[in-house]
Amino acid sequence: MLPFDTIEEAATLLGRNLTVAETMWFKYSAKKSDYYLYCHNILFLFLIFSVVPLPLVFVEMMRSLGFDKFKIQPKVSLSLPEMFKCYKDVMRMFVLVVGPLQLVSYPSIKIIGIRTGLPLPSLWEIVAQLTVYFMIEDYTNYWIHRFLHGKWGYEKIHRVHHEYTAPIGFAAPYAHWLEVLILGIPSFLGPAIVPGHMITFWLWIALRQIEAIETHSGYDFPWTPTRFIPFYGGADYHDYHHYVGGQSQSNFASVFTYCDYIYGTDKGYRYHKKVLRKLKEGSKVDGAQNGGSYYYPTQDLKSE
């Protein structure tokens, strides 16, 4: 709730007129509690989990229209009931774990100093903070992901997420309830270290989930904007990790690939791509499409 009764009062205390965005924010949030604003995340996550994967469902159903050439594992095809089952499982976890977690975690947001007032952050401040959030989440998620691929972590927790060896958009948040809780820690660390505005926090939660859905899409589209982001893994990179499954010691990165490169856990993937290039040059890839990007070996090649 903003400590101003009118826009004029807010302008007086700020020493300037409110921007258009600040005026809109004032009109929307002035009489709403901070807790109410924080709980918007529940609605955002529900919409993202439900709506963002829908175009990928259409693509999966219409592969005969030319989308099949972009499918990373073209021999795998999921029916509409199978994809809907995945969505129902995700929504069950949302109702039982994600939603309640959002409801009870508000005190932590107040402790770290996420603010809801004026002035609003500048665009550059938002971009800088989101960049920090992605970097921190990526590094911590990398090590948690490696732990989850240990014998105990995989068998007890992470194997649920790997039930989809050819991932789909709806399967991005599909995981064991304990994994959902554990991976909430990396997502929270960035805002805890560099707290910002509630709007930045909303953007962070939304963008991270949209990125996860894109990475689990199962399709390597040439027009995907993320192709032009330096060190970004993308769908092809993460799909390899899912295909290899529990045996995988490659491609642990959640967003960027720098940790895999630094710690040598992308060697299997890079060797795999090198083999594909050689097979392509020799015209020996049987059934590969789109320049050989969609053929997988039967084991995780860890080194050259």
**297: in domain:** no
- pTM (predicted TM-score): 0.88
- The tally of CA atoms less than 13 A away on the side-chain side of residue 137 is 26
d(CA 71, CA 9): 56
Phi, psi at 187, each rounded to 5°: -65, -30
Short-list 185, 179, 181, CA closest to 157? 179
Residues 72 and 102 in one domain: yes
**301: in domain:** no
Spell out the per-residue pLDDT of the chain, length 304, in tens.
677 788 898 888 889 999 999 999 999 998 899 999 999 999 999 999 999 999 999 999 998 888 989 999 999 999 999 999 999 999 999 999 999 999 999 999 999 999 999 999 999 999 999 999 999 999 999 999 999 999 999 999 999 999 999 999 999 999 999 999 999 999 999 999 999 999 999 999 999 999 999 999 999 998 887 888 888 999 999 999 998 877 678 899 989 999 999 999 998 888 888 887 888 777 544 444 444 444 444 444 433 3
d(CA 189, CA 133): 8
**The token pair that represents 214 in the structure block:** 């894109």
User: At 94, which amino acid appears?
Assistant: F
**186: in domain:** yes
Apex CA 214: angle with CA 213 and CA 220, to 5°?
A: 140
Domain count, the chain: 2
**303: in domain:** no
**197: in domain:** yes
**64: in domain:** yes
Residues 13 and 95 in one domain: no
Short-list 239, 256, 234, 97, CA closest to 168? 239
Residues 49 and 187 in one domain: yes
Rg (CA), the chain: 22
> Could you list the residue range(s) of the whole structural domain that residue 127 is in?
32-285
Apex CA 94: angle with CA 88 and CA 86, to 5°?
A: 25
Residues 174 and 41 in one domain: yes
Residues 5 and 76 in one domain: no
